[in-house]
Structure 1
Amino acid sequence: MSTSHIDGSIVFTNISGRDVRFFIKNPYDVIQSHHSRGEFYEPEELGIIKDFFPRGGVFVDIGTNVGNHTLYVCKFLNPRQVITFEPNPDAISLLRTNISLNDLTHLVDLSCLGVGLSDAQGKAFPSIPQNNLGATRMIDSDDVSALPLVRGDDMLQHRRIDFIKMDVEGMEVRALHGLEETIARWRPAMFIEVDERNAGDFDSWVQRNGYISAQRFRRYTENENHMIVPIERAV
């Protein structure tokens, strides 16, 4: 039997009446620095998700990182299930710890970890900026030791989904192309971070697939968050 050990600390906090535990490995990391203060990262974005997520639905967290959004959804939005996608091994170890610390293994499906989503099978290495696991970008590579890239349709295989959150640092349009069968079948609402360089391609994808922008929020100059919904369900 193999065991693993991660050096770090645990922050115990109560947020809006709910007990939350955050595991901190690097207190200087952008997301973990918020957790070390006993708070969620990106509260405005989480608030938008709260307004559009159907309670009791299945939430797909693409680019889960250490679990900030997954923990929030599990604690506050009453999901039936959360399905996590995260390729970066450094983030996965912290994500698993956060899920275990918060007794959420019954709600969170971790079977899709270790792969990145794209429009075709391939390989890529994670490029991780200092003190910012959440800004990890996947760089295409032919190296056999690189991490696998897969189509989301192949991973989900007709599983019901109700909401997609996607934060994949520039891979969003490619990931959307690889999810078109799933999106066409279930027509989920989606909250997606879009790089400025991909804005035109993203807008074209939205129009072509029958979605409209319901809300936008910009935290950083280089990208913008889009809350999109199927046009047939738009108010």
Structure 2
Amino acid sequence: MGGAARGTVRRPAFSLYRPAPAMDYGGAKRRLGRSFMKCAVIIPVGPGHDGLSEEAAASVEAAFRADQGPFSDVMILRIPDPDGAIGRSRCRNFGVEHAIQHDAEWVFFLDADDLMDRNCFAAVRDRVADFDAVFGMIAEQWFGSDAVALRERQVGATTLLSDILLNDPYLTLQMGHFVRARVARSIPFDEAMDTGEDFKYYLELWRTHRCCKIGQPLFINRRGAHSTGPRSADGGGWRQAVTRVFGAFFRNHPIVINFVVSGVKVGFAIANPFDMIHRNYLRRVFFEQEELDYLRGLVPAGSSILEIGANVGNHVVYYGLFMAPRRIIAVEPNPAALHFLKKNVEINRLDPATVTVLECGVGERAGSFDLCIADEANLGAARLVPAEGGRVAVHPIDDLVQERVDFIKINAEGMEMDALSGARNTIALHRPILFIEVGNANRNAFFDWAGRNGYRIAKEFPCADASNCAAVPV
């Protein structure tokens, strides 16, 4: 047997568990001494993966024979789910309970279509005493190929939760990892989820226990043979589910990113690292920094600002810190964005007497609407759709503000012309500077409106499917 010498240690036996209808123990269990531990390798076997699971089990035996690391015994627990009705989360939870009942101190989760790395057990010999869970680098192999490669641009060795939270999850962790059995029991996989349950578990595990990712792989992710049962999902479905998981995690456990702009300390609570706005904060810059710097030179100090579609407060914070406004009225209909808008106003210590936050939408006339979330990774992409008895109240700008307004910014996700129609009296009376996100479909209508209402397009900032247009009264 390869690996470190253990004196008179006998050859380890393997216990192959099949949970139904009866247990099949391959070989007698041999205890190697009190200083060693038992590990259970849990392999959920979904539709069409029975043959692949045999290969997975064989890879575990090969790795253990090569070097058993800190373990005296390994149990291979394959849990069949041939029609996909049980789901891998329940299979894993079942496996953890079974492992604990059979005195396993550690478990390793291995998907049936993957292989354990030959050096897996040896790699954690010096880790298990100090950590509750050990992950490895993501290694990949396409079916039909012998080549194994590390996933490019992935996060390297780390013990930091922030590295898991603030990077693309595709580049951080995968399922094959060691974890103390009783720790795994304390954080069961969500059996109601068909996909995304992996990161719901990872995030809670890394938040509450001692975890690490080491600089070598523990298993090989074989690509091209995923399960196709009724509870399976493709990459797009996984991405959407994980986005929701991250969003929920950050709402409950917010992380604040701090950076300095022009000598001023700025901070933003991260709602979701996938959000296009929040990715800028991870780079320590404002979203639309160029546009904001332009507005700083366009809008006079002491102005009263109306921000329609304030989102999480990117522009509101900039106004408050760099443009010395007299008043800011921030309007946002999305409760998820509103939560972070209020938090970011607080983080940046904007004067409550200066900033007013209104939870509503704007339109041509008053009405009730519902939110349509087109992209869960983009809080600003929420659209309002008319709905009798809808949960979001919509008001015309003319009804929202009675005082003087010097600058209006509108980001209304395609409803900018309705918003302008509802601001007819305000615009005619105060002649504010305007900064409007104009969808390409509304471009001609907006330019016609500007000409009819005595406005000149001072500058245009093209963006995806739209342009941010600065318009000044002639």
TM-score normalised by the chain length of structure 1: 0.91
Within 1, Cα distance between the matches of 2:301 and 2:278? Answer: 27
Equivalent AA in structure 1 for residue 429 of structure 2: R
Q: 1:117 is matched with which residue?
A: 362
Q: 2:394 is matched with which residue?
A: 149
The structure 2 residue matched to 1:213, chosen from 457, 460, 472, is 457
How big is each residue's C-alpha offset from its partner over 1:178-220, in whole Å with a ceiling of 9 and x where there is no partner?
Answer: 0010111110111111011111221221112111111111022
CA shift for structure 1 position 48: 2.1
Give the conservation status (yes or no) of the 8 Å contact 1:22–1:38: no
Instruction: Return closer, same or farther for 1:96/1:6 CA change in 2, 3 Å cut-off.
Output: farther
Within 1, Cα distance between the matches of 2:253 and 2:362? Answer: 29
CA shift for structure 1 position 8: 1.5
Within 2, Cα distance between the matches of 1:45 and 1:153? Answer: 26
Q: 1:134 is matched with which residue?
A: 380
Confirm or deny that 1:168 pairs with 2:412: yes
Give the conservation status (yes or no) of the 8 Å contact 1:22–1:36: no
Give the conservation status (yes or no) of the 8 Å contact 1:122–1:150: yes
- Percent identity, aligned pairs only, is 38
CA shift for structure 1 position 37: 2.8
How big is each residue's C-alpha offset from its partner over 1:102-123, in whole Å with a ceiling of 9 and x where there is no partner?
Answer: 111232112xx22111001112
Q: 1:17 is matched with which residue?
A: 263
Confirm or deny that 1:106 pairs with 2:353: yes
Q: 2:333 is matched with which residue?
A: 87
CA shift for structure 1 position 7: 2.3
Q: 1:35 is matched with which residue?
A: 281
Q: 2:472 is matched with which residue?
A: 229
TM superposition outliers: structure 1 runs of 4+ over 2 Å: none
CA shift for structure 1 position 36: 2.7
CA shift for structure 1 position 54: 1.0
Within 1, Cα distance between the matches of 2:290 and 2:353? Answer: 27
CA shift for structure 1 position 130: 2.1
Within 2, Cα distance between the matches of 1:154 and 1:119? Answer: 10
Which has the greater radius of gyration?
A: 2
Equivalent AA in structure 2 for residue 212 of structure 1: R
Q: 2:298 is matched with which residue?
A: 52
How big is each residue's C-alpha offset from its partner over 1:24-44, in whole Å with a ceiling of 9 and x where there is no partner?
Answer: 121111111212332100111
Unmatched runs of 5 consecutive residues or more in structure 2: 1-250
CA shift for structure 1 position 167: 0.8
Question: What is the SS of the residue equivalent to 2:414?
Answer: coil
Equivalent AA in structure 1 for residue 255 of structure 2: S
State the aligned residue count: 222
Within 1, Cα distance between the matches of 2:397 and 2:307? Answer: 12
Equivalent AA in structure 1 for residue 467 of structure 2: E
Give the conservation status (yes or no) of the 8 Å contact 1:116–1:148: yes
Within 1, Cα distance between the matches of 2:354 and 2:448? Answer: 35
Within 1, Cα distance between the matches of 2:322 and 2:346? Answer: 17
What is the root-mean-square deviation of aligned Cα atoms in Å? 1.2
Instruction: Return closer, same or farther for 1:6/1:58 CA change in 2, 3 Å cut-off.
Output: farther
Within 2, Cα distance between the matches of 1:136 and 1:183? Answer: 26
Question: What is the SS of the residue equivalent to 2:399?
Answer: helix
Within 1, Cα distance between the matches of 2:258 and 2:461? Answer: 29
Equivalent AA in structure 2 for residue 226 of structure 1: C
Within 1, Cα distance between the matches of 2:255 and 2:353? Answer: 24
Within 1, Cα distance between the matches of 2:261 and 2:469? Answer: 26
Question: What is the SS of the residue equivalent to 1:26?
Answer: coil
Unmatched runs of 5 consecutive residues or more in structure 1: none
How big is each residue's C-alpha offset from its partner over 1:38-69, in whole Å with a ceiling of 9 and x where there is no partner?
Answer: 21001111122112111111111111000000
Confirm or deny that 1:178 pairs with 2:422: yes
